């Protein structure tokens, strides 16, 4: 807008007989893009079109405050590396804000509500809750800490005005701490630092605090961003303190820090409607729920509104139901409060990043941009001989529909067509993210086959670039050599090595994402399960050439039948078996890992010849070593390029892509990628 033009809002206010002074202050805050002081009459240039909403300058007098209805809502996200205690801390906040009845039985980590989250003890989806403290509402978004779900964190940060950064008092800042903090600083969100787990015997709070300062500086934080409050907590017991030497009694100091540090929302309830969807949820009764932040205006049930789609088009719709958050519940509301985070029901087809706005005067917010996927996997229809026996959804149409449904809620996933109608390329942010999707599909009754994960390369200036990860490994001193040795062929380049002085060493590498596939399993074996490793996407680098894959071949069943103890016993010294006796197999199915580098076709269904003589070594007397039963992630890590994992609701089978042994090219040596 040009300076000489008059702000259109001013006319409206004049009609309402506002004093010229108030008009001057209020008019430009109508649509939240305030230039201060307001230029209408003073001749300054108006910044309406120039400043995005979330970089509004701080101003104390807003349109709503003039009307005496300053919003009392604060929105905060809780971010950290995996397992640093975010969800546990939310438990404490909920409990101490009086969310539960005195005698109410509440599960631990109550926000981790879906089945897979409870099973694995990790958060997968970002979730909202709200607590009330001293009459003020605090909306809290609990985010996942695992790098594969970074997309969830990015979106959560779009809804909030500040963050609580949790850091484990012993582990200190880890790769995901860096990632989430960099995103929060980028969005200029004020942080509160929470050093958690101070009860750990190996806690080193002061050192960790210094490491966090280093991290802020490393991430180019501005001076005001460095002035964050620090709290020392034991999330399990619900205690926070501002002094590391004096343990707290309750979380009161943390609540206080939230009120002191996190700014109140500054939207204008009378402005043009701007409600942006940052997350999606699903209810069995209401269908899709859009979790959205009200930036401006007021949304009411029954309102006719416009949805500004990602492609720029506008669709009209009517709001059927609105909810706001209160503890773990969603409460029915008639109209939204400014700056609140709400759930909107009944908006067909709405997806993340879209804005609900006025029909006559649409004012969409900039779309939410998130990082690109780095890993891809082939999902195809199950065409194994045993297909269709255990699953309910087995056709390519079923598979396509399910993947399309996933795309609606999971914006960090992409699906691409392949040459064949039976197979899709699914792209995501990591192996775990994709394996969670596969596990969910399997539980819903789907059958499918998946291939070995591959990385997504891109071409820059005619050069092939591949994704790189920043890998952090914590390992006992005596295994350092083994780790370094393993990373060599995987093109890992050591960037840092730090001996904490208590027997464990932290190693940091830059390694192509390709080099990480299968690494965890290998290192866990080599270091007898003592390794802790974390990796984080760290941009692209020129393609690093070949990286050896699994050095061993597979033991492959050469005919269909049921495995026998007699046959398996004969194979024990050939490698490690994956199948116990009594399991139905087919030709081309992998039943174990060969100890050499080539594949070996074996007969696992061979029965002992029956004789009339009473044998002293009856079948039951055979004692086999327990088979190595692979779970989904291990199976995906294990397979080579010419192999696949068959996933059904009841079984996981590994197989060769080409089942018939006489059609299959021989694998004679370690394959390279
Ligand atoms: N000793 C101790 N353990 C804690 C504390 N806070 C959390 N934990 C434990 O740390 C583990 C991880 O806690 P979560 O709350 O699931 O961690 P999270 O950050 O939500 O993990 P993700 O959501 O998967 O990233 C659990 O076993 C908690 O019991 C604490 O203050 N002290
Ligand atoms: Mg969690």
Of 655, 582, 595, 652, nearest in space to 624 by CA: 582
Does the pLDDT of residue 406 top 60, yes or no? yes
Distance CA 286, CA 323 (A): 12
**Ligand index nearest the alpha carbon of residue 145:** 1
Taking the centre of ligand 1 as the mean of its atom positions, its distance from the CA of residue 241, in whole angstroms, is 18
Helix runs in 219-295, H state only = 252-261
Q: Do the beta carbons of residue 427 and residue 456 sit within 8 Å?
A: yes
Rounded to an integer, the average pLDDT of 484-494 is: 91
Q: How far apart are CA 408 and CA 31, in angstroms?
A: 29
pLDDT digits (tens, 9 = 90+) for 81-96: 999 999 999 999 999 9
Interval 515-538: pLDDT, tens? 888 788 788 888 888 888 878 788
Kindly give the number of the ligand 1 atom that is closest to the alpha carbon of 237.
31
Nearest CA to ligand 1 atom 13: 85
Give mean pLDDT, residues 601-624. Answer: 73
The finding on whether 200 has its CB within 6 A of some atom of ligand 1 is yes
Q: Ligand 1, atom 10: nearest CA belongs to which residue?
A: 85
Say if residue 671's pLDDT is above 70. no
Instruction: Please state, in angstroms and rounded to a whole number, the distance separating the CA atoms of residues 216 and 194.
Output: 14
547-587 tens-digit pLDDT:
877 888 999 999 999 999 999 999 999 999 999 999 999 99
**480 pLDDT above the threshold of 90:** yes
240 close to 251: Cβ distance less than 8 angstroms: yes
- β-pairing, 458-460 vs 463-476, is antiparallel
* pLDDT surpassing 70 at residue 217: yes
Three-class SS state of 327: strand
Q: Is 13 strand, coil or helix?
A: helix
Per-residue model confidence as pLDDT tens digits over 272-299: 999 999 888 877 777 778 999 999 999 9
Ligand 2 centre distance from Cα of residue 142 (Å): 7
DSSP code at position 421: T
What burial class does residue 487 get, using C-beta atoms within 10 Å of its C-beta: 0-12 exposed, 13-18 middle, 19+ buried?
buried
Is residue 25 over pLDDT 50? Answer: no
For residue 291, what are the contacts with CB-CB under 8 A and spacing of at least 6? 128, 159, 277, 278, 279, 280, 281, 341, 342, 343
Write the CB contacts of 498 (distance below 8 Å, at least 6 apart in sequence). Answer: 505, 506, 507, 508
Q: Is the pLDDT of residue 436 over 70?
A: yes
Cα 580 from Cα 441, distance rounded (Å):
26
pLDDT tens profile 151-185: 788 889 989 999 999 999 999 998 889 889 999 99
Q: Give me 372's structure tokens.
A: 């690109």
CA–CA dist 600, 382 (Å, integer): 24
- Strand 600-602 and strand 584-585: the pairing is unpaired
Per-residue pLDDT, 495: 92
Angle at 391 between CA 444 and CA 373, to 5 degrees: 55
Q: pLDDT category, 23, cuts 50, 70, 90?
A: very low
Backbone angles phi and psi of 614, in degrees to 5: -80, 115
| Residues 125 and 152 sit within 8 Å (Cβ to Cβ) | yes
**Which ligand 1 atom lies nearest to the CA of residue 234?**
31
Residue 655's contacts (CB-CB under 8 Å, 6 or more residues apart) are 384, 449, 586, 588, 589, 590, 643, 644, 645, 646
| Residue 87 CB–ligand 1 contact under 6 Å | yes
The pLDDT score that the predictor gives to residue 446 is: 96
Furthest-apart CA pair in the chain: how many Å? 112
Which comes out higher in pLDDT, residue 658 or 66?
658
| CA–centroid distance, residue 403 to ligand 2 (Å) | 26
CA 606 to chain centre: 47
- 10 Å Cβ neighbour count for 284? 5
- Which residue, by CA, sits nearest to atom 32 of ligand 1? 197
The pLDDT score that the predictor gives to residue 216 is: 92
Distance of CA 315 to the CA centre of its chain: 30
Angstrom distance (rounded) from CA 112 to CA 85:
12
Q: Tell me which DSSP letter residue 177 carries.
A: H
Span from the CA of 162 to the centroid of ligand 1 (angstroms) = 21
The CA-based dihedral angle spanning residues 221, 222, 224, 230, taken in that order and rounded to the nearest 10 degrees: 20
Residue 58, pLDDT score: 33
Distance of alpha carbon 44 from alpha carbon 49, whole angstroms: 14
- Other C-beta atoms lying within 10 Å of the C-beta of residue 56: 18
Of 77, 81, 83, the residue with max ligand 1 atoms within 8 A of its CB, to mutate for a pocket test, comes to 83
Mean pLDDT for 245-258 is: 93
Q: What pLDDT shows up at residue 10?
A: 55
Nearest ligand (C-alpha, residue 166): 1
pLDDT at 617: 53
Q: Are 574 and 592 in contact (CB under 8 A)?
A: yes
Query: Minimum-distance ligand to the CA of 86?
Result: 1
Measured in Å, residue 187 CA sits from the centre of ligand 1 at 26
Residue 234: φ, ψ to 5°:
-120, 95
Average pLDDT over residues 11-40: 44
Residue 235 Cα to ligand 2 middle (Å): 12
- Answer whether 88 contacts ligand 1 (Cβ < 6 A): yes
Whether 633 lines ligand 1, by a CB cut-off of 6 Å, is no
Least confident of 16-20, 178-182, 461-465: 16-20
Cis, bond preceding 37 (omega within 30 deg of 0): yes
Per the model's pLDDT, the better-predicted residue between 180 and 349 turns out to be 180
Report cis status (omega within 30 of 0) of the bond before 306. Answer: no
- CA 472 to chain CA centroid, nearest Å: 19
Ligand nearest to the CA of 194: 1
Mean pLDDT along residues 215-219:
89
Distance 122 CA to ligand 1 centre (A): 9
Does residue 35 register a pLDDT over 60? no
Q: Are 158 and 293 in contact (CB under 8 A)?
A: yes
Res. 362: pLDDT tops 60: yes
Q: How many CA atoms are closer than 13 Å to the CA of 549, on its beta-carbon side?
A: 21
Calculate the alpha carbon distances from 343 to 70, 300, 596 in Å: 22, 12, 57
Give the mean model confidence (pLDDT) for residues 36-64. Answer: 35
Q: Whose CA is nearest to atom 23 of ligand 1?
A: 123
- CA-nearest of 391, 392, 394, 417 to 404 is 417
Which ligand has an atom closest to residue 121 CA?
1
Name the 3-class secondary structure at 154: helix
Find out whether 593 and 616 touch, Cβ atoms under 8 Å. Answer: no
Identify the pLDDT of residue 311: 81
Contact 343, 289 (CB under 8 A): yes
pLDDT of residue 603: 94
- Please measure the distance between the N-terminal and C-terminal CA atoms of the chain and give it in whole angstroms: 55
How far is it, in rounded angstroms, from Cα 361 to Cα 364? 10
- Give the pLDDT band of residue 461 (cuts 50, 70, 90): confident
Cα–Cα separations (whole angstroms), residue 222 to 226, 263, 371: 7, 18, 24
Query: In whole numbers, what is the pLDDT of the chain averaged over residues?
Result: 83
Residue 63, pLDDT > 60, answer: no
More confident residue, 196 or 33: 196
As a whole number, mean pLDDT of residues 366-387 equals 87
């Amino acid at each position: 807008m040009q300076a000489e033009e008059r702000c259109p809002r001013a006319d409206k206010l004049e009609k309402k007989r506002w004093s010229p002074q108030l008009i001057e202050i209020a008019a430009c805050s109508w649509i939240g893009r305030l230039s201060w002081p307001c230029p209408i009459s003073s001749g300054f240039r108006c910044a309406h079109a120039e400043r995005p909403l979330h970089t509004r300058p701080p101003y104390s007098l807003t349109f709503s405050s003039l009307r005496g209805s300053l919003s009392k809502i604060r929105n905060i996200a809780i971010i950290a590396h995996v397992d640093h205690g975010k969800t546990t801390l939310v438990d404490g906040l909920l409990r101490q804000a009086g969310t539960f009845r005195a005698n109410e039985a509440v599960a631990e980590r109550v926000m981790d509500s879906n089945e897979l989250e409870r099973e694995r003890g990790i958060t997968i989806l970002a979730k909202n809750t709200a607590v009330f403290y001293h009459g003020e509402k605090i909306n809290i978004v609990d985010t996942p800490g695992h790098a594969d779900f970074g997309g969830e964190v990015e979106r959560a940060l779009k809804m909030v005005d500040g963050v609580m950064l949790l850091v484990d008092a012993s582990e200190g800042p880890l790769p995901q701490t860096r990632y989430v903090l960099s995103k929060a600083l980028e969005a200029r969100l004020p942080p509160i630092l929470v050093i958690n787990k101070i009860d750990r015997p190996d806690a080193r709070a002061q050192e960790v605090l210094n490491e966090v300062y280093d991290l802020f500086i490393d991430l180019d934080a501005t001076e005001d961003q460095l002035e964050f409050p620090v709290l020392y907590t034991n999330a399990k017991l619900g205690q926070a303190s501002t002094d590391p030497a004096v343990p707290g009694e309750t979380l009161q100091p943390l609540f206080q820090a939230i009120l002191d540090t996190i700014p109140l929302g500054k939207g204008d309830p009378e402005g043009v409607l701007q409600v942006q969807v940052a997350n999606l949820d699903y209810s069995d009764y209401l269908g899709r729920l859009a979790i959205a932040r009200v930036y401006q205006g007021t949304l009411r049930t029954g309102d006719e509104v416009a949805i500004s789609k990602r492609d720029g088009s506008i669709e009209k719709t009517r709001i059927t139901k609105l909810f706001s958050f209160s503890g773990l519940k969603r409460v029915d509301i008639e109209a939204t409060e400014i700056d609140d985070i709400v759930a909107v029901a009944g908006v067909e087809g709405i997806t993340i990043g879209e804005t609900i706005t006025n029909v006559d005067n649409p004012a969409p917010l900039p779309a939410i941009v998130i990082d690109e996927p780095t890993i891809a996997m082939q999902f195809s229809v199950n065409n194994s001989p045993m297909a269709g026996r255990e699953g309910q959804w087995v056709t390519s149409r079923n598979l396509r529909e399910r993947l399309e449904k996933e795309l609606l809620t999971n914006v960090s996933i992409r699906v691409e067509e392949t040459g064949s109608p039976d197979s899709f390329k699914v792209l995501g942010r990591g192996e775990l993210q994709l394996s969670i999707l596969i596990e969910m599909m399997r539980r819903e009754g789907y059958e499918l086959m998946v291939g070995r994960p591959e990385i997504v390369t891109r071409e820059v200036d005619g050069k092939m670039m591949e994704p790189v990860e920043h890998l952090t490994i914590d390992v006992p001193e005596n295994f350092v050599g083994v780790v370094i040795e393993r990373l060599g062929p995987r093109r890992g380049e050591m960037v840092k090595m730090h001996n904490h002085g208590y027997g464990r060493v932290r190693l940091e590498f830059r390694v192509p994402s390709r080099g990480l596939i299968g690494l965890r399993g290998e290192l866990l074996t080599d270091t007898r399960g003592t390794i802790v490793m974390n990796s984080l996407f760290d941009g692209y680098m020129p393609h690093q050439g070949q990286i050896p894959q699994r050095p061993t071949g597979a033991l492959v069943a050469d005919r269909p039948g049921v495995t026998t103890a007699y046959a398996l016993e004969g194979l024990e010294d050939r490698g490690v078996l994956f199948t116990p006796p009594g399991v139905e197999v087919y030709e081309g199915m992998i039943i174990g890992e060969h100890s050499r580098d080539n594949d070996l076709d074996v007969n696992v269904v061979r029965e002992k010849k029956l004789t009339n003589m009473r044998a002293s070594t009856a079948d039951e007397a055979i004692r086999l070593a327990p088979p190595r039963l692979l779970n989904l992630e291990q199976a995906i890590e294990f397979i080579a390029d010419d192999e696949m994992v068959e996933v059904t609701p009841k079984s996981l089978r590994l197989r060769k892509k080409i089942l018939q042994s006489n059609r299959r090219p021989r694998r004679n040596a370690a394959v390279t990628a």
